[in-house]
Amino acid sequence: MSRRKPLKMRTPRSTTARSTKRTAVGALVVVGLLTGCSGGTDRGDVLADLATQGAETLEALPEVAAAATAAVQTACASGEKADFDAAVEDVAAAQTRWHEAEAFWLGPATDLRSNSIVDWPANAQDVDDLVAAEEPATIDVNYLAAYVGADTRGYGAVLTLLEQAPLDERQCDYANAATALAESGIDAVTAAWTDPDDGEPYRDELADPAVGIDAVVNHLLALLTNKDAANWEARSNSVEDLLFGPEGDSGLSALLDDDLTAQLRTETDELISATRDGEAAADDEPSEAALAAMNELRATVATQVVAELGVTVTFSDADGDSAG
């Protein structure tokens, strides 16, 4: 059986909205340079905004994940091509939204190793082998959670299966279980950020300047070390949100001087351009332009941002995880 690459479809964000955001932050940087304004922003306020942004970003994901689960169930129940096509779109949308939230994979997502459940890069051969295996008799959520590797579950595995649509009963059991498991992983992260069963929400923990700044900057360094080319475009958008906020006028850069903010804006734009869909990778390998842009931005964060904010760096390249 030949090895196939998993089917990968993305639902990119509105380019108009992103262009507007970049224009807004560019204008703010120019104003800052002309007026000499920089600094003086309260760290607690910035972290509270980032924590709220993270919570709101994650709170939007369960609905998207539920739609993906329902779409696969509908397709398997009907067997219709149109329903399988719709399932591909909904699963790809959930996958993209999950990766656009990578800026907020710190804390609970790391502790729970959520990406190993939601969307680790799929191994198409392992997916095929599990379908062909005699055991288990039924591939269900519990089996995927306990007995298979991360590259044999999650949205990547579901898209690999859907590439073969219409699916037979065993493939449908597998696809339904994998989407349900991914949905449960997203639900768990969201709950930990906003309404955990025990302890304080991570949103409140991140808002504490004593731990929040170090946590955010070290996570940013981790993002800028991740060379998983399949999701670079979504990850780059997530990095932009972390640095500049959803409207381009907040985020981590609110704590930095105007010259450094302008430099980060330029380097982030270069990263986004280099990792745009269709340009980031060839044969699943990062392009030279994407690697260069990522390395440049990471170097700025690791030196100038770390120095200006007085961050204790705990992340090293050896900590990098190919899939988050």
Q: What is the mean pLDDT of residues 231-257?
A: 90
Asked whether the bond before 166 is cis by omega within 30 degrees of 0, the reply is yes
Q: What is the mean pLDDT of residues 53-72?
A: 97
User: In this predicted structure, what is the pLDDT of residue 35?
Assistant: 32
Architecture of domain 62-198 in this structure:
Up-down Bundle (1.20)
Yes or no: say if 184 and 62 are a contact pair by the CB < 8 Å rule. Answer: no
CA 110, CA 314: separation in Å to the nearest integer?
14
Judged against a pLDDT cut of 90, whether residue 238 lies above it is answered with no
> Whose CA is closest to 68, among 147, 189, 185, 169?
185
Tell me what percent of the residues of the chain surpass a pLDDT of 70.
82
- Confidence band for 255, pLDDT divided at 50, 70 and 90: very high
Judged against a pLDDT cut of 60, whether residue 71 lies above it is answered with yes
Q: Which residues pair with 282 in a beta bridge?
A: 285
Q: What is the mean pLDDT of residues 13-39?
A: 43
Q: What is the mean pLDDT of residues 184-211?
A: 95
Yes or no: say if 220 and 239 are a contact pair by the CB < 8 Å rule. Answer: yes
CA 294, CA 12: separation in Å to the nearest integer?
20
Q: What is the mean pLDDT of residues 47-59?
A: 95
- For the chain, the domains span 15-57+203-319, 62-198
Q: What is the mean pLDDT of residues 106-123?
A: 94
User: In this predicted structure, what is the pLDDT of residue 41?
Assistant: 81
Query: Is the pTM above the cut of 0.95?
Result: no
Task: Residue 151: count other Cβ atoms within 10 Å of its Cβ.
Answer: 19
Asked whether the bond before 136 is cis by omega within 30 degrees of 0, the reply is yes
CA 200, CA 195: separation in Å to the nearest integer?
8
Cβ-Cβ contacts under 8 Å for 142 (sequence gap 6 or more): none
- Confidence band for 279, pLDDT divided at 50, 70 and 90: low
Q: What is the mean pLDDT of residues 105-133?
A: 95
> Whose CA is closest to 141, among 158, 124, 125, 129?
158
Judged against a pLDDT cut of 50, whether residue 199 lies above it is answered with yes
User: In this predicted structure, what is the pLDDT of residue 117?
Assistant: 96
Q: What is the mean pLDDT of residues 264-284?
A: 78
Q: What is the mean pLDDT of residues 138-163?
A: 97
Yes or no: say if 235 and 275 are a contact pair by the CB < 8 Å rule. Answer: yes
**What is the C-alpha end-to-end distance of the chain, expressed in Å?**
29
Yes or no: say if 141 and 131 are a contact pair by the CB < 8 Å rule. Answer: no
Tell me what percent of the residues of the chain surpass a pLDDT of 90.
70
